[in-house]
Amino acid sequence: MTDLRIERADDDASLLDWRFVHNAVIPTAALSVAEVTERAGRNRLSVAHLDDVVVGCSTVRPPGAENPVATVIARILPAHRGRGLGALLYAHGLELARELGAEVIETCVLESNPEGLRFALRQGFVETERYVLPGDTVPFIDLRLT
């Protein structure tokens, strides 16, 4: 269907691409370069390209030794939604989470992203919590795959 290429964000250029998508989709919790670099040290960050255009990014928070829960987050820029790219990016993250030993999968969606919430619900996620970060006004929604 597509020439979607998903690559690990592990150098300066790809981390900047990841940051661009994250900050565009989650403007209420924009991240600095230093924060993205720190996240890349503890999470698996990936960038999705359609041909040579950045269309999305993903985060996989790996499971811990004592807690087999991984968080898989797929973000697609609004101009590229509705074409199945999010499903491919999510499937990539889900496969990675399971390879890392996850037994339980969670995700997180910003309430102002109704497309992302509908996608998560269609995948079988159910809401577990809503919260607002200090200084923000838009809630995040945590969900767990059933």
What pTM was estimated for this model as a whole? 0.93
Q: pLDDT tens digits for 66-104?
A: 999 999 999 999 999 989 999 999 999 999 999 999 999
Q: Residue 30, Cβ neighbours under 10 Å: how many? A: 11
Q: pLDDT tens digits for 4-38?
A: 999 999 999 999 999 999 999 999 889 999 999 99
- String of b and e for 74-111 (b: at least 16 CB within 10 Å)? bbbbeebbeeebbebbbebbbebbeeeebeebbbbbbe
Q: pLDDT tens digits for 125-144?
A: 999 999 998 888 999 999 99
